[in-house]
Structure 1
Amino acid sequence: MDQAVAASHHPTVLDWQERVRSAHAHKAPLRIRGGGSKDFYGVRLGGELLDTRSYSGIVSYEPSELVVTVRSGTPLAQLEQVLAERGQCLAFEPPHLGAGVTQATVGGMVAAGLSGPARVSAGAVRDYILGLSMINGVGEHLTFGGQVMKNVAGYDVSRLMAGAWGTLGLLTDISIKVLPMQRAQATLYYECSQQQAIDMLAGWRAQPLPINASLWQSDGSSDSGHLLVRLRGAMAAVEAALSHMGGTMLDHAQADGAWLACREQQLPWFTQMEADHALWRLSVPATTPALPCTEQTIQPLMEWGGALRWVQAPMQHAAALHAMAASVGGSAVCFRPGEAVRWASSDDFGYTPTSPALRQVQQRLKQAFDPNGIFNPGRLGDWAIS
């Protein structure tokens, strides 16, 4: 066993169980929080704070088996550093979205279920969760899954927790599949319009190219912008793609800075958002044509081969954005409210309206895991699960 920490019972779990049982008995809400790096997301952040950071550390790490088990309060940066020392990584590139005191934790990474630029090629957070332990809403400490990919016993509850934002349970220990870092990497630059970028990416998807990530953003006018395409894989595959795809290759330092800024939403496109605008996240089919702009919106930023479109628009545009996304078989959600946006008692937070059938499934899950609704009330509106 490498990088192992003694796996003896940690007293914090017992403390948490008692606290959850008390909250359940008194129907007292609890707000589960790690580093607080994603406190901006959600309708209302209510309940007594339950800080997970005291439950930290790597339980076991087997580089040869490509699996690590870690406690939920462990800083994400710490885990990534340990993996990097062995030439391994979290392939889905989870965004930290915080600095200093708002340091992302592994539990928050799973609960948020957010993936970075490599999502379209490497997969999502939930694809790498092998198993986990959690405390449900009545104080029971439950374990699901295991430490291998081919674990098919029972329901796949482990992956259900990814993106549930802590509304179904308090995560304790998590087993994650890791991957070796790719040997070769290169980033290509193209000047093109949004629609040209969509067409180029669609053409490349039909070919055996090691495309790992893409990013298109406007250069300021309505019909011009630039596309970045990152290649990752075997040296021969990357070199072959470079000779085939054209474009201008960026130097590694410039490319790494751009992808990090994209992952952490530190590009000027994100940081210079108007105070009365909100940041909207649209998930649409990758081949969806370029989205129209109005006088109050700017050219979107596009990731994941065209499947993820970031849009800046006032909250009054919620219905129009929902309709636009739904018309192409997608969805829209307000990801980050602008500085001038104030929330009162709204329970939709800009979510795409949920169908009655899906809402019923969500409510049954909530009832099964947290019957008194004590975990993170209001975080996802009326028990919505992302």
Structure 2
Amino acid sequence: MQAATHPALGPLVEQVLSASARRTPLRVRGGDTKAFHGQTQAGAGDVMDTRALSGVVSYEPTELVVTALAGTPLAELEAQLAERGQCLPFEPPHFGPGATVGGMVAAGLSGPARASVGAVRDYMLGVQVLNGRGELLTYGGQVMKNVAGYDVSRLMAGAWGTLGLIVEVSLKVLPVAPAEATLVFELPQSQAMAQLQRWGGQPLPLNASCWVHDDTASPTKDLLFVRLRGAVAAVESACTRMLKDVPGQRMDNAQAGLDWAACRDQRLPFFTAPAPELALWRLSVAPAAPALDLPWAQLIEWHGGQRWLWAPVNAAERLHTAAAGAGGHATLFRAPASGLPAGFPRRAAASGPLATIENRLREAFDPAGIFNPGRLG
């Protein structure tokens, strides 16, 4: 059923109009698996539940396009794609069994393969959004050539629902790779990053990487995991070449699959807080950036482009400076169990032209400021 005729849409429109008239906040919620992210005030306001907007509207396997309502369970969509040998190649994190398609887009988060295949926004073809005036707006379509001018569809990826309620999305999908292999090497961080850069300059089917200091091993080890995906011959040739470059081991695919899924959903031992006063920080930097001079253990993904670490809240300035020096930025991803100071910013505030653009977009889509206030703070 199309979003415009779905019976659940009417009550949602009424809820928006009422909240806009009263200027009271709405907390957009699907599976609520990402409730940990955002400012404390993100928990305020009336809940706007998207789960009634559920179902795959259309799926054209031969065209590699699927359209689904925002409340569709992500696991349900992925299972339907898998039946036809297709997938969402950016491996969106679930963070729980209730994850939805709309939440996937709103969060804009991608899994281990992001550095090789692109992000959520790169697969957005079209979107329907309910804005702060109660209007159902349609952008893009089901083919790439429909996306012209200002690409509003991709703008919704990572906006955390602050611009409006995502109602329906159209996504490009891809076939599952014919072959896959995961190699593991024992390398310190600086050597691992340098080796990834060398491999990145070769015609190898690199798909994902993860470097971590493994405290669960005895003795502890610095391990680099590299996943290859592609044609059978390409994967086998790459394994031979890489294991010749650096001594390592090839993992069992079944076990490796479980480990990559655990990395995607932050269920690896590293993602258990070492102490209640520590927060999980995400540093997005240039992949070629060297090892950062920081005293906290790290888990590094995306061939060096995404770096996770547990550090206290008062390390914010040091982390922002380190990330900026490496060509990126730092974000407080998970608050410490001990809580955050009131109004503590999770990311460096936008400034200059970027801040102006952000403010004008919010005014255009949500003039009363009702959608998820503070979620991007």
Give TM-score scaled by structure 1 length: 0.93
For residues 205-354 of structure 1, the aligned pairs below 5 Å read 205-220=200-215, 224-246=221-243, 247-294=248-295, 297=296, 299-346=297-344, 348-349=345-346, 351-354=347-350
* Aligned-partner Cα distance in 2 for 1:54–1:353: 35
- Counterpart residue number, 1:110: 105
* Aligned-partner Cα distance in 2 for 1:273–1:179: 38
- Once the 2 structures are TM-superposed, how far is the Cα of residue 201 of structure 1 from its aligned partner? 0.4
- Once the 2 structures are TM-superposed, how far is the Cα of residue 121 of structure 1 from its aligned partner? 0.6
* Aligned-partner Cα distance in 2 for 1:159–1:86: 26
Tell me, yes or no, if the aligned pair for 1:194 and 1:224 is still in contact at 8 Å. no
Among 19, 22, 30, which residue is 1:23 paired with?
Answer: 19
Tell me, yes or no, if the aligned pair for 1:95 and 1:263 is still in contact at 8 Å. yes
- Counterpart residue number, 1:384: none
- Counterpart residue number, 1:133: 128
- Once the 2 structures are TM-superposed, how far is the Cα of residue 51 of structure 1 from its aligned partner? 0.5
- Counterpart residue number, 1:189: 184
Tell me, yes or no, if the aligned pair for 1:278 and 1:341 is still in contact at 8 Å. no
- Once the 2 structures are TM-superposed, how far is the Cα of residue 329 of structure 1 from its aligned partner? 1.6
Q: Structure 2: any 5+ residue segments left out of the alignment? A: none
The count of corresponding residues between Structure 1 and Structure 2 is: 369
Tell me the SS of whatever aligns to 1:11.
Answer: coil
Among 26, 35, 41, which residue is 1:39 paired with?
Answer: 35
Tell me the SS of whatever aligns to 2:226.
Answer: strand
Tell me the SS of whatever aligns to 1:171.
Answer: strand
- Once the 2 structures are TM-superposed, how far is the Cα of residue 8 of structure 1 from its aligned partner? 7.4
Output one character per residue of 1:279-302: Cα deviation in whole Å (capped at 9) or x when no partner.
0000111111112232xx3x2100
- Counterpart residue number, 2:157: 162
- Counterpart residue number, 1:14: 10
- Once the 2 structures are TM-superposed, how far is the Cα of residue 272 of structure 1 from its aligned partner? 4.4
Closer/same/farther in 2, CA of residues 158 and 8 from structure 1, 3 Å limit: closer
- Once the 2 structures are TM-superposed, how far is the Cα of residue 202 of structure 1 from its aligned partner? 0.3
* Aligned-partner Cα distance in 2 for 1:115–1:161: 14
Tell me the SS of whatever aligns to 1:127.
Answer: helix
Tell me the SS of whatever aligns to 2:233.
Answer: helix
Output one character per residue of 1:17-70: Cα deviation in whole Å (capped at 9) or x when no partner.
122112111111111000000000001222110010011001111111111100
* Aligned-partner Cα distance in 1 for 2:326–2:185: 27
- Once the 2 structures are TM-superposed, how far is the Cα of residue 224 of structure 1 from its aligned partner? 4.9
User: Which piece of structure 1 moves more, 364-373 or 153-162?
Assistant: 153-162
* Aligned-partner Cα distance in 2 for 1:286–1:109: 24
Tell me, yes or no, if the aligned pair for 1:95 and 1:115 is still in contact at 8 Å. yes
Tell me, yes or no, if the aligned pair for 2:3 and 2:9 is still in contact at 8 Å. no
Please report the RMSD computed on the Cα atoms of aligned residues, expressed in angstroms: 1.6
**Identical positions, percent:** 57
Tell me, yes or no, if the aligned pair for 1:291 and 1:300 is still in contact at 8 Å. no
- Once the 2 structures are TM-superposed, how far is the Cα of residue 352 of structure 1 from its aligned partner? 2.2
Tell me the SS of whatever aligns to 1:341.
Answer: coil
User: Which piece of structure 1 moves more, 217-226 or 279-288?
Assistant: 217-226
Structure 1 residue identity aligned to 2:86: Q
Structure 2 residue identity aligned to 1:286: P
Q: Structure 1: any 5+ residue segments left out of the alignment? A: 382-386
Tell me, yes or no, if the aligned pair for 2:273 and 2:310 is still in contact at 8 Å. no
